[in-house]
């Protein structure tokens, strides 16, 4: 077990970057609005992972406090986003992003 892999901060940052990339792909390419909102939650989780990994590296707990604030903020934004989604669905009966084109020229 001498060549055991030490999990350094870099591994957490790479994982955070991969999750961020997956979230961005989800936001940019999916049609269903609910899945776009869930991809935004993925992005916020990747950012949280970054914060807590750096908090571990530097020893202080400021990153964890900021991560708690990010989780709170994500909850508020998910609630308002889903409220907007329900209002949108009541008007148009679809959850397609391609149908949101009233402001298109």
Partner 1 sequence: MVIGGILVITRKNAVHSALALIVALLAQASLYLMLYAPFVAGVQIILYAGGIMVLFLFVIMLVSIERSMKEKQFNSQWVVGTIAAVALGGLFIAVYAKGKNIFPEHALSVVEDTNTQEVAKLLYGQYMFAFEIASLLLLVAIIGAVVMAKKRI
Q: Minimum distance from CB of 29 to partner 1 (Å)?
A: 4
| Binders in 8-47 for partner 1, by CB under 8 A | 8-10, 12-15, 17-19, 21-26, 28-32, 34-35, 37-39, 41-42, 45
Cβ-in-10-Å burial (0-12, 13-18, 19+) of 63 comes to middle
Q: Strand pairing partners for 96?
A: 32
| Binders in 84-103 for partner 1, by CB under 8 A | 84-87, 89-90, 93-98
Choice between 1 and 101, CB closer to partner 1: 101
For helices 33-58 and 9-29, give the axis angle rounded to 10 degrees: 160
The tally of CA atoms less than 13 A away on the side-chain side of residue 92 is: 16
Which letter does DSSP use for residue 61 in this model? S
Q: Minimum distance from CB of 67 to partner 1 (Å)?
A: 5
Which of 8, 9, 15, 7 lies closest to 47 in space, CA to CA? Answer: 15
Residues that bind partner 1 (CB under 8 A): 6-10, 12-15, 17-19, 21-26, 28-32, 34-35, 37-39, 41-42, 45, 48-49, 52-53, 55-57, 59, 61-62, 64-65, 67-69, 71-80, 82-87, 89-90, 93-98
């Amino acid at each position: 077990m001498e060549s055991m892999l030490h999990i350094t901060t870099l591994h957490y940052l790479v994982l955070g970057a991969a999750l961020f990339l997956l979230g961005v792909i989800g936001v940019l390419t999916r049609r269903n609005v609910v899945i776009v909102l869930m991809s935004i939650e993925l992005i916020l989780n990747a950012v949280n992972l970054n914060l807590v990994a750096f908090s571990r590296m530097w020893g202080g707990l400021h990153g964890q406090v900021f991560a708690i604030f990010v989780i709170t903020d994500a909850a508020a934004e998910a609630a308002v986003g889903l409220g907007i989604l329900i209002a949108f669905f009541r008007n148009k009966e679809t959850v397609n992003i391609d149908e949101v084109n009233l402001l298109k020229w």
